[in-house]
């Protein structure tokens, strides 16, 4: 499938990501290759194949969510090593930008 530089710009705008001008042509080729591969997968006959999410047969084993006091020393050491904290919480710089 043919993806143009304009398509890449549009996708980047929808995803709210900045794409460097020099990367747009490469991304157009890579996205085109990905879509070609997906189109090939769509040609596979899956009639009679049961849908599945995983094939190992493993199941989640849930445990009770409890607070453990075993790590109190580790928590205290970690908090003592942090330059900024609020109570028992580590205070870090924001990772999200507000626009």
Q: What pLDDT score does 40 carry?
A: 94
Q: What is the pTM of this model?
A: 0.49
Both tokens assigned to 85: 């904290």
Helices (H) and strands (E) in the chain, counts: 3, 2
Q: What is the pLDDT of residues 40-95, one digit of tens each?
A: 999 999 999 888 888 888 888 888 888 776 777 777 788 888 888 888 788 888 88
Please name the residue that has the structure tokens 């493993």. Answer: 58
Q: What pLDDT score does 35 carry?
A: 95
**Is 5-42 CATH 2.40.160?**
no
Domains of the chain by residue range: 5-42
């Amino acid at each position: 499938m043919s993806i143009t530089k304009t398509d890449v710009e549009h996708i980047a705008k929808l995803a709210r990501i900045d794409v460097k001008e020099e990367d747009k042509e490469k991304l157009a080729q890579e996205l085109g290759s990905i879509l070609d591969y997906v189109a090939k997968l769509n040609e596979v006959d899956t009639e009679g194949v049961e849908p599945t999410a995983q094939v190992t047969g493993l199941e989640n084993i849930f445990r009770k969510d409890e607070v453990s006091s075993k790590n109190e020393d580790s928590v205290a050491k970690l908090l003592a090593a942090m330059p900024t904290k609020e109570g028992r919480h580590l205070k870090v710089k924001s990772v999200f930008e507000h626009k």
